[in-house]
């Protein structure tokens, strides 16, 4: 029987949404698998999350140690190597912690590694079939994973349907004593909070959001004119901030702002999952992109295949004429 | 400081519209435009800036085929001092661990204080840096968007959720994966590439590295890529068609209905 362990990330005593998504992923890996939640941390927050997990998972392992108070991936990895059986399947979210911790864990456990899984299609013997995306979400690919000596996998948050918690009636097992030596060569110092910008994009009901398709810093003006006409503000995807054309506070995405507008105008944005991860509240999404294969058309409500540099000024003019 | 930067030649996502081949199981690779992985340019730029401050050398390395030499030369034109190509038929079909194992063999032949890679490449896994660090027993930090070098240790900022930055002190030698936006990679012109066109780039294969070929390539891969496919579009977007005027008219009606205007 496949043994699956799922790492529960949490903040301020509340588990991340992915905690409800692992059970679906586990069933898709192997219907008959056992599933155990693993929670690491320190003190009251940890206990609160571990208790909460007993409503979703029949077994919950907690590891309590002062060095785990902040989830430093180097420390967590050392603890997990001593707790997780080497032939088990270990799941963690494909977030900034999972990306930091998991590849090295697969080396230390001498098991297979698969990153950013978006679906599983069952197991045949010891060969697991699953789905990933490549090239920024432009293509999907089937992969096979030999789990005969275990596997470490990251799963994409939001890709597996959340289960209803409440009825698992699980219990917490304290394995803090098994964590072993947790000394590491990387010391967590502090979290520097993001700076507030001149415009708060999270407050706007309509966002005119621009991506790579804007091509040049000088062209941002046309997006600003459309935003003005629509009584909204300009937000953007990561490449615009990397190029220093707009402030970080204007960036929508998992590594930027989470926004909940009513209408999201995705202009020249390809629609990577990191970007769409910042668009919440099920807004009406309009996508304009000259590439008909852009992944954004899979998630948008309305799609238009046009070059935004031609389309935006015409739309602005039409809106202003209303 | 001796810095090694791991780079990769990848299909350029900004220059290609990806389509499947006629068999429907792989990309149509006939007219694909390849370039250096975008993240790697930031890693090389950061390495050059560190060496400009504290001295040392930047070496760029890749696991690939003959054509991968062009990305090494491009990064050398940026200012990397030397390049190493790890190339062998036995390396083909390697999974992330295979690639990390090949790199480890070369790293152990040298003496590097700092090893960097891009935070991710075309496959989007972001795995090789973390695996290499674990194989070498070096500390690792991913998604690095700030580096400050002091004596024997460095302070790094990691990009975490919500635009926040996690600051860490990390001991050398270490492995870092670099996030885009950490710097502004310098422009490389044709003249720059010409200047390094004749520089010798050593090519090392499995024998040179003392690698057991059963542990790499398709034979050693536990995770195998099977076939590409077109995702089920599900509901997908309602595509607006017609002349631009017609499209705008339809769009405005929808925006009015949804509270956009």
The band of B18, judged by pLDDT with boundaries at 50, 70 and 90, is confident
Return phi, psi of residue A293, to 5°. -95, 0
Between chains, do B255 and A263 touch, taking CB under 8 Å as contact? Answer: yes
- CB–CB of B124 and A135 under 8 A? yes
Considering CB atoms only, which of B128, B138, B233 is closest to A298? Answer: B233
Strand partners of residue A92: A154
**Is B37 within a domain?**
yes
Q: Do B260 and A263 touch (CB under 8 A)?
A: yes
- Please tell me the number of Cα atoms within 13 Å of B49 on its side-chain side: 15
Q: With contact defined as beta carbons under 8 Å apart, do A47 and A174 qualify?
A: no
- Above 80 in pLDDT, residue B35? yes
**Separation in Å, CA of B24 to nearest CA in chain A:** 11
Give every CB contact of residue B82 below 8 A, 6+ residues apart in sequence.
B57, B59, B60, B76, B199, B201
Q: Are A252 and A269 in contact (CB under 8 A)?
A: no
The C-alpha atoms of residue B235 and residue A303 are separated, in whole angstroms, by 12
A248 interaction partners in chain B (CB closer than 8 Å): 163
Omega within 30 of 0 (cis) for the link into A3? no
DSSP string for residues in A151-162:
EEEEE-TTSSPP
pLDDT tens-place string over residues A199-231 = 999 999 999 999 999 999 999 999 999 999 999
Kindly state whether B12 is in contact with chain A, defined as any CB-CB distance less than 8 angstroms: no
Q: Which of B17, B180, B248 has the CB atom closest to A315's CB atom? A: B248
Which residue ranges make up each domain of chain A?
3-178, 201-320
pLDDT value of position A78: 98
What residues make up the domain containing B170? 2-220
Spell out which residues of chain B touch residue A305, defining contact as CB-CB under 8 Å. 239
C-alpha to C-alpha distance for A12 and A254, rounded to whole angstroms: 18
Task: Tokens 């520089």: give the residue.
Answer: B199
What are the beta bridge partners of residue A119?
A131
Q: In this predicted structure, what is the pLDDT of residue B147?
A: 98
- Region for residue A26 given its phi and psi (left: phi exceeds 0; alpha: psi -120 to 50; beta: otherwise): alpha
Higher pLDDT, A260 or B19: A260
* Residue B73 domain-assigned (yes or no): yes
CB-CB contact of B2 with B112 (8 Å): yes
* ipTM of the prediction: 0.95
Radius of gyration for chain B, computed over Cα atoms and rounded to the nearest angstrom: 21
Residue pair A9/A18 in contact by the 8 Å Cβ criterion: yes
Give the whole-angstrom CA distance, residue B30 versus residue B73.
Answer: 23
Which residues are paired to A91 by β-bridges?
Answer: A6, A153
Would residue B249 count as lying in a domain? no
Chain center to CA of A239: 18
> Is there a contact between B168 and A304 if contact means CB atoms under 8 Å apart?
no
B195-249 confidence digits (pLDDT tens): 999 999 999 999 999 999 999 999 999 999 999 987 665 678 999 999 999 999 9
- According to CATH, the superfamily of the domain at A201-320 is TPP-binding domain (3.40.50.1220)
Test A286 with B255 for CB contact under 8 angstroms: yes
Mean pLDDT, all residues of chain A: 96
Higher pLDDT, A315 or B29: A315
Length of chain B: 261
Residue A21, classed as helix, strand or coil, is coil
For residue range A103-151, list pLDDT tens digits in order.
Answer: 999 999 999 999 999 999 999 999 999 999 999 888 899 999 999 999 9
Residue B69's pLDDT is 96
Average pLDDT, chain B: 95
DSSP symbol at B29? -
As a whole number, mean pLDDT of residues B175-204 equals: 95
Element (H, E) at A103: helix A96-108
8 Å CB contact between A251 and A237: yes
CA B155 to chain centre: 22
**CATH number for B128:** 3.40.50.620
- CA–CA distance, B258 with B256 (Å, rounded to integer): 6
The backbone torsions φ and ψ at residue A230, rounded to the nearest 5 degrees and listed phi first, read: -95, 10
Question: How close does chain A come to B261, measured CA to CA in Å?
Answer: 6
pLDDT at B16: 83
At the topology level, CATH places domain A3-178 in Rossmann fold (3.40.50)
Which of B138, B167, B180 is closest, CB to CB, to A189? B167
SS3 letters for B196-231?
Answer: CCCCCCCEECHHHHCCCHHHCHHHHCCEEEEEEECC
pLDDT at residue A313 in the model: 98
Is residue A166 pLDDT above 90, yes or no?
A: no
DSSP 8-state symbol, A47: H
Size of interface A-B (CB pairs under 8 A): 260
The answer to whether the CB atoms of B122 and A190 lie below 8 A apart is no
Mean pLDDT check: name the lowest of A131-140, B40-49, B121-130.
A131-140
Q: What is the percent of chain A where pLDDT is above 90? A: 93
Domain count, chain B: 1
| Contact residues, chain B, for A310 at CB < 8 Å | 244
Please say if the pLDDT value at position A243 is more than 80: yes
Q: Are A28 and A160 in contact (CB under 8 A)?
A: yes
CB-CB contact of B157 with B166 (8 Å): yes
CA angle B19, B23, B27 (to 5 degrees): 30
């Amino acid at each position: 029987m496949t043994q699956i362990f799922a790492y529960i990330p949490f903040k301020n005593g509340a588990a991340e949404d992915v905690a409800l998504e692992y059970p679906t992923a586990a069933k898709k890996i192997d219907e008959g698998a056992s599933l155990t939640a693993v929670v690491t941390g320190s003190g009251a927050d940890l206990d609160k999350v571990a208790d909460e997990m007993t409503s979703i998972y029949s077994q919950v392992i907690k590891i309590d140690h002062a060095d785990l108070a902040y989830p430093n991936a180097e420390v967590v990895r050392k603890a997990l190597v001593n707790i997780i059986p080497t032939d088990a399947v270990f799941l963690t979210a494909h977030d900034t912690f999972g990306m930091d911790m998991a590849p090295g864990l697969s080396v230390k456990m001498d098991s297979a590694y698969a990153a950013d899984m978006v679906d599983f299609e069952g197991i045949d013997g010891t060969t697991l079939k699953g789905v990933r995306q490549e090239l920024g979400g432009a293509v999907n690919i089937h992969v096979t994973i030999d789990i005969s000596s275990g596997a470490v996998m990251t799963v994409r948050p939001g890709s597996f349907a959340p289960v209803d918690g409440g009825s698992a009636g699980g219990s917490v097992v304290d394995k803090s004593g098994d964590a072993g030596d947790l000394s590491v060569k990387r010391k967590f110092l502090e979290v520097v909070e993001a700076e507030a910008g001149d415009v708060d994009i999270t407050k706007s009901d309509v966002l005119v959001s621009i991506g790579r398709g804007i091509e040049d810093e000088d062209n941002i003006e046309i997006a600003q004119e459309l935003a003005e006409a629509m009584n909204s503000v300009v937000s953007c995807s990561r490449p615009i901030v990397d190029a220093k054309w707009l402030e970080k506070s204007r960036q929508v995405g998992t590594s930027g702002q989470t926004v909940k507008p009513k209408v999201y105008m995705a202009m020249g944005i390809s629609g990577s999952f990191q970007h769409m991860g910042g668009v919440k509240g099920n807004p009406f999404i309009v996508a304009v992109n000259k590439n008909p294969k852009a992944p954004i058309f899979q998630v948008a409500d309305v799609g238009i295949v046009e070059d935004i540099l031609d389309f935006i000024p015409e739309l602005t003019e039409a809106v202003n004429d209303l | 400081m001796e810095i090694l930067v791991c780079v990769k030649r990848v299909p350029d996502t900004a220059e290609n519209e990806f389509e499947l081949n006629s068999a429907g199981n792989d990309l149509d690779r006939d007219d694909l435009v390849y370039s250096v992985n975008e993240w790697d340019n930031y890693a090389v730029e950061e390495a050059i800036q560190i060496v400009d401050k504290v001295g040392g050398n930047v070496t760029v390395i890749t696991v690939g085929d003959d054509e991968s030499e062009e990305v090494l030369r491009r990064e050398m034109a940026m200012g990397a001092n030397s390049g190493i190509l790890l190339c062998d038929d036995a390396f083909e079909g390697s999974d992330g661990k295979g690639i990390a194992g090949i790199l480890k063999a070369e790293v152990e032949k040298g003496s590097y204080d700092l090893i960097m890679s891009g935070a991710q490449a075309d496959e989007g896994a972001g795995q090789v840096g973390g695996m290499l660090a674990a194989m070498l027993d070096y500390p690792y930090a991913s998604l690095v968007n700030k580096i400050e070098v002091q004596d024997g240790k460095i302070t790094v900022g990691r990009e975490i959720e919500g635009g926040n930055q996690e600051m860490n002190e990390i001991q050398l030698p270490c492995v870092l994966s670099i996030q885009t936006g950490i710097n502004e990679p310098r422009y490389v012109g044709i003249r720059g590439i010409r200047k390094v066109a004749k520089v010798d780039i050593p090519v090392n294969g499995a024998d040179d590295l003392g690698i057991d070929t059963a542990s790499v390539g398709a034979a050693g891969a536990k995770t195998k890529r099977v076939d590409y496919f077109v995702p089920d579009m599900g509901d997908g977007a309602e595509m607006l068609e017609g002349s631009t005027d017609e499209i705008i008219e339809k769009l405005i009606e929808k925006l009015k209905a949804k509270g956009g205007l």
